[in-house]
Amino acid sequence: MPGFNATLSRMKILVVEDEERVAHFIQKGLKEEGHAVDVSYDGEDGEFLAEVNDYDLILLDLMLPKKNGIAVCRELRASGDATPVLMLTARDSIEDKVRGLDAGADDYLAKPFAFEELLARVRALLRRQSESKSPVLKLLDLELDPISRRVSRTDKAIRLTTKEYALLEYLLRNQGKVLSRTLIGEHVWDMNFDPESNVIDVYVSHLRSKIDKGFEPPLLHTLRGQGYLLSDESPPA
């Protein structure tokens, strides 16, 4: 479906898969789609990452060292975590499928699978997720529509790159909060992001020139030594 992918906003995805080759294959493909992807190689670590980070989707292998995918999924659901889970398994049995879905998984994919099929499932789950979120994100006259991916200020269309868009979406979802470089790096890039690099500053500066230049009041503020803030009120100097 041409152009279909463009209607999805960039998401943060956790892949829990002990076969490194498979994990890296999935990670690489999802990153090429513009998503931020973390990888974990066992059930305990995966569950820990899912608890401490805020993912839009979890790809969870069924057979994992330390704790299997069913147990991880069941415990996440028991703790009130509703993050969509796509269960992966080497065994294409009805029994496994039922166990996975009973444990709270949203969908199921048997290995080996074509990457296109994985992407189609991921898209369907992410679309379901983004539709359940408030459709248009706003701050004063700045608007971002996660479905159409359109950004505008005073109804003037603004063109953003994939990363600028992901950054703005994150800032808009957390407007009024001071966001550190580490936090921004983890959400918009991935957990291996080096917070010491100046990549975020560069992207913020590009984004600011697009959303603030020629408009009043300025919305994207820098707090020296703390991070960034998207707000219609200037922070105290």
- Positions that interact with Ca ion (CB under 5 A): 18, 61, 63
CB of 153 to Ca ion, least distance (A): 47
Q: How far is the CB of 116 from Ca ion (least distance, A)?
A: 21
Burial 190-228 (b: 16+ CB within 10 A, else e): bbebeeeeebbeebbeebbebbbeebeeebbbeeeeebb
Q: How far is the CB of 157 from Ca ion (least distance, A)?
A: 46
CA 117, 189, 194, 159 dihedral sign is: positive
Residue with Cβ nearer Ca ion (11 or 64): 64
Residue, CB closest to Ca ion: 63
Rounded to 5°, angle at Cα 219 from 213 and 224: 100
**CB neighbourhood size of 117 (10 A):** 11
Q: How far is the CB of 90 from Ca ion (least distance, A)?
A: 7
Question: In terms of CB distance, is 59 or 184 closer to Ca ion?
Answer: 59
Residue 158 DSSP SS3: strand
**Minimum distance from residue 28 beta carbon to Ca ion (Å):** 18
Q: How far is the CB of 68 from Ca ion (least distance, A)?
A: 9
Going by C-beta distance under 8 Å and a sequence separation of 6 or more, which residues neighbour residue 196?
none
Q: Reduce the DSSP state of residue 15 to 3 states and report it.
A: strand
Residue number, 42 or 56, with CB nearest to Ca ion: 42
Nearer to Ca ion, 61 or 96 (CB): 61
Decide whether 9 or 27 has the Cβ nearer to Ca ion.
27
- What angle, rounded to 10 degrees, do the helices at 115-132 and 20-32 form? 60
**Three-state secondary-structure class, residue 167:** helix
Choice between 63 and 183, CB closer to Ca ion = 63
